[in-house]
Amino acid sequence: MAAKALVAVEQYLQMSFEGPDCEFVDGEIVERNAGENPHSKAQLRLILLLSGLAAWSPLHIRPELRLRLAPERYRIPDIAVFAGEEPAEDVPSTPPLVTIEIVS
């Protein structure tokens, strides 16, 4: 088994990627599926549904927002929903109320 090259968090946060943004798990860059039309359609429907709920309660819906789960772990769910105050950080470290990953 070949050894994988590890990357520092600081390097990852300054990287740009061709195609969809990549996640960062314990020093490794993890590619994400870009999703196709059915995936995109499901994501849009969920965002519209959640946006309707946000009219009655303080919800902040963010598609494909990078989240800091731990010092060496950054994930990008299809949809993150925050309750209460809007996230102030560019890369939030406060857990969202809900995260949604659409499996296609």
* Residues 45-75: tens digit of each pLDDT: 999 999 999 888 999 999 999 999 999 999 9
With respect to residue 4, please indicate whether it lies within any of the assigned structural domains.
Answer: no
* CATH number of the domain where residue 75 is located: 3.90.1570.10
Coil vs helix vs strand at 103: coil
Coil vs helix vs strand at 67: strand
Per-residue pLDDT of the chain (104 residues; tens, 9 = 90+): 555 779 999 999 999 998 889 999 999 999 988 779 999 999 999 999 999 998 889 999 999 999 999 999 999 999 999 999 999 999 999 999 999 999 87
Model confidence, pTM = 0.88
| Residue 54 DSSP label | H
Q: Domain limits at 89?
A: 9-100
Q: Which helix (H) or strand (E) holds 38?
A: helix 37-54
The pLDDT of residue 19 is 84
CA 7 – CA 45 distance, rounded (Å): 36
CA 6 – CA 2 distance, rounded (Å): 13
With respect to residue 76, please indicate whether it lies within any of the assigned structural domains.
Answer: yes
With respect to residue 3, please indicate whether it lies within any of the assigned structural domains.
Answer: no
How many independent structural domains does the chain possess?
1
Q: Which helix (H) or strand (E) holds 62?
A: strand 59-63
The pLDDT of residue 3 is 59
Looking at residue 97, its amino acid is L
CA 44 – CA 25 distance, rounded (Å): 27
With respect to residue 17, please indicate whether it lies within any of the assigned structural domains.
Answer: yes
Residue 79: which of 33, 45, 30 has the closest Cα? Answer: 45
Looking at residue 27, its amino acid is G
The pLDDT of residue 1 is 54
With respect to residue 15, please indicate whether it lies within any of the assigned structural domains.
Answer: yes
